[in-house]
Chain A
Amino acid sequence: MQDCTFFTRKEILRLHGRYHELAPHLVPMDYTNDPECKLPLALIVNMPELKENPFRNRIVESFSEDGMGNLSFNEFVDMFSVLSEMAPRELKAIYAFKIYDFNVDNYLCKEDLEKTLNKLTKEELTPEEVELVCEKSIEEADLDGDNKLSFADFENMITRAPDFLSTFHIRI
């Protein structure tokens, strides 16, 4: 498994410990029978690393196979591996796009941006200001002129951001 993530063996074991302590009665310490155990969204977003993040629900949902936020251990490790500092920029951009895509339609349309902005500012901005910011963002990043951001637009914009790698990072 070490080949599939950016973690070392010790870190994977540590992660397993964290996963286990989220729900000791659900998660087995021993995987011989390949249990199909998944932890629900509510348990995972209470982790101290994710608790304060405004996008915690979206993060967990993007890494879960069923889209509802239930993570098996594989997906748990995957999530922290992508968010670790060793993951490359391109990989992070892919998942960032998924996280900010609230309606999961593979485009960042205006509603997605509005939701992002409201989460970021805790709805402190007036509706006109929200409108303006979203419009400006689309104008800046949209390259093919369809009034929403496809992955290519998003990637082009985010890979040039100097802060992206340092802010899109969770240390576990």
Chain B
Amino acid sequence: TPGGWTSNLTSWGKRERVQEEKKRERERERETGGEGEFSFGSHFFPSISSSSSDDDEESMSEGEMAALKEEVEEKKKLIATLRNKPWRMQRRLIQLKEAQEFVEKFEGALGKGKGRKWYAYKVMMTKKLIKFKRDFENFKTACIPWERKIKEVESHFGSSVASYFIFLRWMYGLNLVLFGFMFGLVVLPEILMGLPYGSLPRKTVPREEQATAMDYAVLFDFNGYCKYSFLFYGFYNSDRMIGVLKFRLPLSYLLVGVGIFGYSLMVVIRTMARNANEGGDGAEEGQFTFSWKMFTSWDYLIGNPETADNKYASITTSFKESIVDEQENQKDENIHLRRFLRVLANFLILCSLGGSGFLIYFVVKRSQDFAERDNDELSWFEKNEVEFVMSLLGLVCPPLFETIAELEDYHPRIALKWQLGRIFALFLGNLYTFLFALFDEVTAKLEKEKSIKNETIWALNAYYANYSSFYNTTDVPPPDVHPADVIRGPCWETGVGIEFVKLIVSDMQVTYLTILIGDFVRAVIVRFLNYCWCWDLEAGFPSYGEFDISGNVLGLIFNQGMIWMGAFYAPGLVGLNVLRLLTSMYYQCWAVMSCNVPHERVFKASRSNNFYMGLLLLVLFLSLLPVVYTIMTLPPSFDCGPFSGQEKMYDVVMETIENDLPSFIGNIFTYATNPGLIMPAVLLMVLAIYYLNAVSKGYQQANLDLKRKMQMARDEEKNRRNNKDSTNQVMKDLEALLPNKSLIPPPTEEDELESSKSPKIKPGAVANGKGVNLQKEVSLAASNPRGPVTRAPGPRGGNARGPQPGPEKGRGRSSNPPLKL
């Protein structure tokens, strides 16, 4: 049987096979003298004559073939959707067996006639593909790490805390793939096939620095041997092809740098699309409060008694709160005071955001001055000032925002959204200020480089002049200078890479330290000092920490943004990040299990998981911008990195197209980059966007209309059951408009019109009392009467527009014909 079931449970198949044999025998007995091959269900093809098997082609006419094909397709579809059916397992297994046999038996039969071999081959390949896909899926599931750990966290803390760890795991997977690209296509070729350390100036530590190059302090600062290693941009040689395989390193470097963004974009969007279905059909806020609380508040993942108790308590509290909300009205608060407080709070927060941006700029400028001074004079603090300040700001500002937000007095869910937005703005502002400051540094370095370049060229010319004048020849060998002694330009790309790596490292240190102190030491203090303290530390002030989901997720997202930005200048950064995520996983799992308590109230920031994915996407674009800008506009350093000697970094691509690819591709590119072609293409895309937007709006409107229809049908049904009047305001208005009510005979019952078509008019009142809002959109002129317009519009219920009137009234009036107006 297809399906690859080969363990000690294979005997399941045996049992089914025995059953199936019996069935086949029964079928054969039923069929009077029919051939086994064509004895399928007689209710499908009663006309099939049981001819002999060598007369195949003629016995199956076209129509029967088509019908049989359809039947086979249906069985295949059944097999595919079998797991979604709410049947008992036994029934599913039996259905599966039947369907599989049917397909197997008659797929062969279909292949008779023309192209039989090809059809059979196609079928076999499809089966093999399905089997391969299934094996691959099995393999992939087996490879997923940390399943046990996450399950433990889930059972103790519920699904929301665990979602952070699932996100972390996903990031780890993404970074692993990026690391694979970077390492396999850039680092490894350079190490294996490129020139070794010490052969070129760019790969050697300069003579002046060699004394201190191995010092721990220097290495920790990523200078010394680190700076001239494969970790950073400057190490890579700009030879067009290296090694035996003629590997084009500069091209590969550029493509991998851009490809990292492309791959990340693809993965993020794919994950967003998958999550898009989870949000569910949006319901209005507060429409189903109690029902949802009752049926979706218990987290089935909880497996720990303490957590369960906690959950019971929080559910009870939540119910009590809702009951209280339901019973009393909101107090009338002073709106003006509230507005003033909110404006004040926002102003304070803007001030602090501005302050933090300015602080970072100031500190980066100072670090440039420090760079001028001798390295030994600076204290550790002064050397790492920038990273220290940035991490500190990231630590201090969010709680500050939270305290200021107390002024605003929002509902917790809305307050959480504001908080997340502000933290996002903080991180973004900090990052971009950092980038601008860095950019200033880069331009300064470029200036310096020009002067050094001139110096180098001048020195070289002087050497040639001396040599030729001394030896009187024109054939001058290249200067025999040790690589360590050559004058170096300030490799700005490596400088930028170093800054990013230092930032990531310091961020990591600060995070781990915070967890250690903020959670672990706090827990230890609360636990042990509680015995000799005046008030209950566990219940009162410090108590145990809760796991800050949103803060951690944002931190993760921004770290990834920094990786994306820095990966182009420091290929080793991605590997560093993989290590960091790995240790984070274990460290944070341990910290959460031993130091944190489950949340008392949990509010999700949004309906679906796409909120954080959306943030990630935004950060991806924002980190793409600086990299693309530098590739396109800044000139690469003249003496370090894979693009040295080029005017712009992307010249490598142009060169490759000219030299390595056949000429017509070069022509194609020349045509493709012609503005005359690009403008219409851009215009076309804009039009396409506009069109898709319009179509999507149309769908949304259709959706809303359908919802309205369903709602109205249900309301009318409900009203009919409860013997209420039609609550449709329009009908009431209509009735009020009629000349004299007493003269109007009752309308006829119109069951068929009511049930088959519901008009587009929205109902007046809706059960949950929110109907008042809907009435605004009702308009008589707008709706099309769906029913037959040949009837004269009669009174209430007399035309297609009107919903069914109350049953009592209707029945009473049904005997009289409608009045023709």
Contact = CB atoms under 8 A, between A and B. Distances in A.
Interface residues of B, number: 80
A100 B159 CA distance: 21
Contacts of A51: 303
A117 B315 CA distance: 10
A3 B96 contact: yes
Given A121-B312, A140-B290, A161-B295, A133 B319 contact: yes
Residue from B4, B155, B279 having most chain A Cβ neighbours under 10 A? B155
B303 A161 contact: no
B298 A162 contact: no
A103 interface: no
A158 interface: yes
A8 B507 CA distance: 40
Contacts of B281: 159-160
B51 to A, nearest CB: 35
A162 B163 CA distance: 15
B288 A160 contact: yes
A6 interface: yes
Contacts of A146: 721
B401 to A, nearest CB: 26
Contact of A4 (B9, B82, B293): B82
Given A16-B9, A125-B316, A140 B288 contact: yes
B300 A140 contact: no
Kindly state the interface size class of chain A when it binds its partner: 35 or more
Interface in A53-103: 53-55, 65, 74-75, 77-78, 81, 83, 87-91, 94-96, 100
B589 interface: no
B721 A74 contact: no
Interface in A131-162: 132-133, 136-137, 139-146, 157-162
A26 interface: no
Nearest to A122: B312
A169 B159 contact: yes
B294 A113 contact: yes
Contacts of A129: 319-320, 323
Contacts of A13: 7, 9
Residue from A11, A140, A157 having most chain B Cβ neighbours under 10 A? A140
Contact of A145 (B134, B287, B305, B718): B718
B90 interface: yes
Contact of B323 (A5, A31, A132, A160): A132
Contact of B303 (A52, A124, A145): A52
Contacts of A166: 159, 163
Tell me the dominant secondary structure on chain B's binding face: helix
Contacts of A157: 288, 291-292, 295
A8 B89 contact: no
Residue from A65, A77, A167, A169 having most chain B Cβ neighbours under 10 A? A167
B300 A74 contact: no
A111 interface: no
B768 A140 contact: yes
B316 A74 contact: no
B93 A4 contact: yes
Contacts of A116: 294-295
B114 interface: no
A160 B291 CA distance: 11
Residue from B79, B281, B288 having most chain A Cβ neighbours under 10 A? B288
Contacts of A32: 11, 14
Interface string B315-347: 110011011001000000000000000000000
B319 A144 contact: no
A49 B301 CA distance: 7
A2 B92 CA distance: 11
Interface of B: 3-5, 7-9, 11-12, 14-15, 79, 82-86, 88-90, 92-93, 96, 134, 137-138, 141-142, 147, 150-151, 154-155, 159, 163, 278-283, 287-305, 307-308, 312, 315-316, 319-320, 322-323, 326, 604, 607-608, 714, 717-719, 721-722, 767-768
Q: Which 6 A-B pairs have the closest CB atoms?
A: A74-B89, A145-B718, A32-B11, A52-B308, A160-B283, A145-B721
Interface of A: 1-6, 8-13, 16, 29-34, 48-49, 51-55, 65, 74-75, 77-78, 81, 83, 87-91, 94-96, 100, 113, 116-117, 120-122, 124-125, 129, 132-133, 136-137, 139-146, 157-171
